[in-house]
Structure 1
């Protein structure tokens, strides 16, 4: 099962006058990067969310935003004097250090300070009323993540369909290359015989056996059957990864490098126009497949 690293899910809820909206989305990344923007005063929600995400998601840049509101917002939130003082002190220290080093720091507005974590928080007096809210949010996390995973799975199925078609194209092109080998061998043999005749005519006293051995060695070095066999093996492995149950993005990414290596070698050894064309077509399909793999978990 292929999962895309791109996904989206949202959820809403209402309890005891509180309303909330979850927003979860992700894009591709080399590893798992979780970024959360949650209101303060919701103890345990962040830990539960991170733990659940790490259990379900292997790769991707995941961003989660939670917005909680109440009909009496002005009474629910207040400035935390201690956090405000700390924030202002730190900002002043940064500005002073920057000035000493000759750096120009843009002015900081009150709105910028208010957005700093902990400066504005829910009133401590409302801790009891937040307990049911926290419990409701924690219970909603699995459902939210399931919807998120389903979104990634749906897009992953579309990616798998595209990549399966590309693997089929690679297999077809490898078959075309194999079908050209007899014609290539004949053309190569004719070329080697002509080369041998030119060498014997131009080189007095040349040893015919030695020259034949050198030309035969050239023929061996330009043989492409090994590359085609490896390409066929890579096709089988790619199909297995596309239907596997575990995340296959990194495995497929490595496999694309192997595909590309064999296609490059095929082109460099071809020395036959039709085989070169097939090799270039292979490189084109492999490049397209590599682009799709970058989005696979």
Structure 2
């Protein structure tokens, strides 16, 4: 879910620049840094981002250049006339030195900054910023889609590895009743060579142990999760949350398989399965 985009828009003396950066995140975390005068567009920008993106830590920086208007000033003639009139009235009452022009201009309200606030309609500025941000979001999505295509190949390879391990576990000879009976007979022989157990009782115990250690249900669910994961990856689109849930279910079944294992080789397969599932979960955190 990483990506970067930069766009610019200009209307007259106004120039807007939007920079978007995305890094991995479990949810959608938006951080906006807006230039002075753009506070009114914060909520529309957040709405735009939330509609287009569902996961990731998003940083948006919006800068505004007002061109030459930002460095100009103008005289408020109405305020200046009022100040001069007041000065004349004071001089008529009491003789005083003529006020210096810079002192008059320094009075509040006489000079106004040409910041463009009255020259550019607020709606025009808002539309300019949102249009610029929309293009930045499109470019960011394109970058994230390119990364997603690469991660999808990795995810499919990991799902294939899980499928191979599931097949190995299902075909392992230690799951048969005959294998369980053989191990049970060897264990009993090691305990006491003189201990005599009827063959039918031995067969019953072997069947009971084989039933408790049966992992067919876990294998069936793992195959169902494999099919669901492949379908989600093939469909594309925002699938990170659903794949994250499937990874948790993968891990749950792998833990049960290891706990039921009645052979060292089968336990090793279960541990390999858990290792691949952990790798899968790490990669899933990188997709939307």
Which TM-score applies when normalising by structure 1?
0.72
CA distance in 1, matches of 2:192, 2:39: 89
Q: Which residue of 1 aligns with 2:239?
A: 248
Does 2:272 match 1:281? Answer: yes
Q: Residues 1-297 of structure 1 correspond to what in structure 2 (within 5 A)?
A: 5-42=1-38, 44-72=40-68, 75=71, 126-129=117-120, 131=122, 132-181=124-173, 185-195=177-187, 212-297=203-288
Report how far residue 169 of structure 1 moved.
0.8
SS of 2:38's equivalent in the other structure is coil
Deviations 1:48-80 (CA, angstroms, capped at 9, x unpaired): 322211111112221100122244486279xxx
Higher alpha-carbon deviation: 165-174 or 143-152:
143-152
Distance 1:253 1:183, change over 3 A: closer
Report how far residue 183 of structure 1 moved.
7.2
SS of 1:128's equivalent in the other structure is coil
Report how far residue 197 of structure 1 moved.
5.5
Q: Which residue of 2 aligns with 1:112?
A: none
Verify the 8 A CA contact 1:43 1:134 in the aligned structure 2: no
Report how far residue 6 of structure 1 moved.
2.3
Report how far residue 160 of structure 1 moved.
1.1
Deviations 1:96-118 (CA, angstroms, capped at 9, x unpaired): xxxxxxxxxxxxxxxxxxxxxxx
Distance 1:276 1:76, change over 3 A: farther
Higher alpha-carbon deviation: 286-295 or 135-144:
135-144
Verify the 8 A CA contact 1:49 1:141 in the aligned structure 2: yes
Report how far residue 216 of structure 1 moved.
2.6
Structure scoring higher RCO (CA < 8 A, sep ≥ 6) equals 1
Report how far residue 33 of structure 1 moved.
1.9
Verify the 8 A CA contact 2:71 2:115 in the aligned structure 1: no
CA distance in 1, matches of 2:193, 2:114: 100
Verify the 8 A CA contact 2:16 2:128 in the aligned structure 1: no
Verify the 8 A CA contact 1:222 1:270 in the aligned structure 2: yes
Distance 1:270 1:145, change over 3 A: same
Structure 1 runs of 4+ off > 6 angstroms? Answer: none
CA distance in 1, matches of 2:118, 2:59: 27
Higher alpha-carbon deviation: 172-181 or 186-195:
186-195
CA distance in 2, matches of 1:76, 1:284: 66
SS of 1:127's equivalent in the other structure is coil
CA distance in 2, matches of 1:244, 1:36: 32
Q: CA RMSD in A?
A: 3.0
CA distance in 2, matches of 1:264, 1:31: 27
Distance 1:243 1:276, change over 3 A: same
Q: Which runs of 5+ in 1 are unaligned?
A: 78-121
Report how far residue 170 of structure 1 moved.
0.7
Q: Which runs of 5+ in 2 are unaligned?
A: 74-112
